[in-house]
């Protein structure tokens, strides 16, 4: 049975038992009010409560209802920006710190899962593969750079013949294998974080949409039926921010991405198309990514749109991407298809900021948020409790505003995105 109040998806249908959290009614007071209960907000709330603060966490829908409960579940080290580019932008010291924190973010996810005994099908291994042979050299150079410049050895270049063996297709070429990368059931991870946060003392409210807030001395947050008096406000709404905070809305662009889940595959089929049961992502601009679920379904992510609505027939919208690489799967039944909204930034690095003395934001993980949003929440908690250095290292990365700001960013983005996705197909 599908979890009530969530987008219909394989994840909602296979979710662990969930506690319901009340709607906020009336007035409360807490040290910190966190808005949005995805990984960012859940992690911030959990880490703050563990430090002894009183924390309220307000979620417009249900915990993990947003991207955190709908994503591909890939947990990988690194950033969307190369280390060498980061060095050019923010200097070597900051770039090194950002790289180290990306490693830490994956360990953090694993540690939280272990510490709070979250049942979320956690498995090891992420394989990035070249969708075109001309990407092979880039993979080789990228792995060499990590070995030599970053002294990071938990990544291997994979020859095309080995990729073919691992994935049962020669449509992909070379690969890079992140041996300490991981994959998981994203909604169950979010539900587990929520349970841990509540246990640590966080007051969680669902069906509680924040309508407005006031910062400064008498800071407070207003919802339809309630009010939170607070010292600090943390914004963790990511792709679902809407018009709540226009000062940071133009730093991100919400985009929709889609996933399907097939019927369960036979053991033999699983081993053929994913020999080592890893998470896979390819090098296309509009990425294809896939993995096996805990019950051996193929979860395939592919296709995006940039409008306010999802395609009517998501299974068929995504299926064509899957069949491009695995035409032999054409007879598989598709049991689920769903979409979610994530936020990207212009430079594809997360955007962290202290907008005012008592107003923080972390958003825009650009498809890398399972690990980085979990870390983002922890860094907000650190910053608020007096150690802002690591939060500031992210905040120092200059994040351009989308041309056209909040109102006119769409036409430019759509043209750009369509151009790159066409380039994927034809060049």
Nearest distance from residue 371's CB to ligand FAD, in Å? 6
Which CB, 152 or 189, lies closer to ligand FAD? Answer: 189
The reply to whether 185 sits near ligand FAD by the rule CB under 6 A is no
Binds ligand FAD by CB under 6 A, chosen from 9, 66, 352, 397? 66
Number of residues that bind ligand FAD (CB under 6 A): 43
Q: Minimal CB distance to ligand FAD: which residue?
A: 369
244 in contact with ligand FAD (CB under 6 A): yes
Minimum CB distance to ligand FAD, residue 132 (Å): 21
Does 68 contact ligand FAD by CB under 6 A?
yes
Q: Binding string to ligand FAD for residues 26 to 65, with x set by CB under 6 A, is what?
A: ---------xxxxxxx----------------xxxx---x
Residues between 298 and 357 that touch ligand FAD (CB under 6 A): 301, 340-342
**In terms of Cα–Cα distance, which of 20, 28, 427 is closest to 225?**
28
Q: Which is nearer to ligand FAD, 363 or 393 (CB)?
A: 363
- Shortest distance, CB of residue 148 to ligand FAD, whole angstroms? 26
Q: Considering the complex, state which of residue 144 and residue 313 has its C-beta at the smaller distance from ligand FAD.
A: 313
In this structure, the number of other CB atoms found within 10 A of the CB of residue 49 comes to 23
Q: Specify the residue, 136 or 195, whose C-beta has the smaller distance to ligand FAD.
A: 195
Q: Which is nearer to ligand FAD, 10 or 289 (CB)?
A: 289
CA–CA dist 377, 101 (Å, integer): 13
Q: Which stretch binds ligand FAD (CB under 6 A): 15-23, 45-53, 152-160, 233-241?
A: 233-241
Site for ligand FAD in 366-425 (CB under 6 A): 367-371, 373
- Binder among 48, 155, 197, 259 for ligand FAD (CB under 6 A): 259
Comparing CB distances to ligand FAD, the nearer of 259 and 261 is 259
In this structure, what token pair is assigned to residue 307? Answer: 């409008």
Least gap, CB of 67 to ligand FAD (angstroms): 3
**CB 323, min distance to ligand FAD, A:** 19
Of 135 and 368, CB closest to ligand FAD = 368
Smallest distance from ligand FAD to CB 338, Å: 8
Nearer to ligand FAD, 59 or 282 (CB): 59
- Alpha-carbon span 53 to 202, nearest angstrom: 9
Select from 209, 220, 231, 354 the one that contacts ligand FAD (CB under 6 A): 209
- In the complex with ligand FAD, the residue whose CB is nearer, 59 or 136, is 59
Q: C-beta of 322: minimal distance to ligand FAD in Å? A: 15
Give min distance, CB of 400 to ligand FAD, in A.
Answer: 19
β-pairing verdict for 279-282 and 289-292: antiparallel
In three-state form (DSSP H/G/I as H, E/B as E, the rest C), the secondary structure along the chain is CCCCCCCCCHHHHCCCCCCCCCCCCEEEEEEEEEECCCHHHHHHHHHHHHCCCCEEEECCCCCCCCHHHCCCCEECCCCCCCHHHHHHHHCHHHHHHHHHHHHHHHHHHHHHHHHCCCCCCCEEEEEEECCCHHHHHHHHHHHHHHHHCCCCCCEEEECHHHHHHHHCCCCCCCEEEEEEEEECCHHHHHHHHHHHHHHCCCEEECCCCEEEEECCCCCEEEECCEEEEEEEEEECCHHHCCCCCHHHHCCCEEEEEEEEEEEECCHHHHHHHCCCCCEEEECCCCCCEEEECCCCEEEEEEEEECCCCCCCCHHHHHHHHHHHHCHHHCCCCEEEEEEEEEEECCCCCCEEEEEECCEEEEECCCCCHHHHHHHHHHHHHHHHCCCCHHHHHHHCCCCCCCCCHHHHHHHHHHHHHHHHHHHHHHC
Measured CA to CA, the distance from residue 110 to residue 112 in angstroms comes to: 6
Query: Which residues make up the interface to ligand FAD (CB under 6 A)?
Result: 35-41, 58-61, 65-68, 70-74, 209-210, 236-240, 244, 257, 259, 289, 301, 340-342, 363, 365, 367-371, 373
């Amino acid at each position: 049975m599908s979890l009530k109040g969530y987008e219909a998806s394989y994840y909602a249908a296979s979710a662990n038992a969930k506690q319901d959290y009340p709607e906020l009614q009336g007035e409360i007071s807490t040290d910190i009010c966190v808005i949005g209960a995805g990984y960012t907000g859940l992690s911030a709330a959990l880490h703050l409560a563990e430090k002894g603060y009183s924390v309220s966490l307000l979620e417009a829908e249900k915990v993990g209802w947003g991207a955190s409960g709908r994503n591909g579940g890939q947990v990988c080290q690194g950033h969307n920006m190369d280390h060498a580019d980061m060095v050019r932008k923010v200097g070597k010291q900051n770039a090194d710190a950002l790289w180290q924190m990306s490693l830490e973010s994956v360990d953090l996810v694993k540690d939280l899962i272990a510490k709070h005994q979250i049942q979320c099908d956690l498995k090891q291994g992420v394989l990035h593969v070249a969708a075109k042979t001309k990407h092979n050299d880039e993979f080789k150079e990228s792995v060499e750079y990590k070995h030599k410049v970053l002294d990071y050895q938990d990544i291997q270049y994979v020859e095309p013949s080995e990729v073919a063996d691992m994935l049962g297709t020669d449509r992909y070429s070379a690969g890079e294998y992140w041996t300490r990368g991981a994959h998981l059931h994203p909604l169950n991870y979010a539900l587990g974080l929520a349970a841990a946060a509540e246990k640590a003392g966080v007051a969680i409210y669902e069906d509680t949409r924040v309508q407005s807030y006031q910062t400064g001395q008498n800071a407070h947050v207003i919802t339809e039926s309630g009010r939170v008096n607070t010292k600090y406000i943390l914004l963790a709404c990511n792709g679902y921010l809407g018009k709540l905070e226009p000062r940071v809305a133009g730093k991100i662009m919400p985009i929709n991405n889609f996933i399907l889940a097939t019927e369960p595959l036979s053991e033999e089929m699983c081993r053929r198309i994913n020999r080592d049961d890893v998470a896979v992502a390819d090098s296309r601009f509009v990425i294809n990514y896939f993995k096996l679920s805990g019950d051996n379904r193929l979860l395939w992510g592919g296709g995006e749109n940039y409008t306010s609505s999802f395609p009517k027939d998501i299974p068929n919208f995504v299926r064509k991407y899957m069949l491009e690489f695995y035409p032999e799967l054409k007879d598989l039944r598709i049991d689920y298809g769903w979409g979610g909204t994530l936020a990207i930034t212009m430079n594809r690095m997360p955007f962290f900021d202290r907008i005012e003395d008592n107003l923080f934001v972390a958003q825009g993980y650009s498809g890398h948020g399972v690990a980085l949003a979990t870390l983002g929440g922890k860094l907000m908690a650190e910053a608020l409790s007096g150690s802002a250095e690591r939060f500031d290292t992210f905040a120092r990365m200059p994040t351009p505003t989308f041309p056209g700001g909040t109102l006119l960013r769409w036409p430019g983005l759509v043209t750009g995105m369509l151009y790159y996705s066409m380039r994927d197909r034809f060049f």
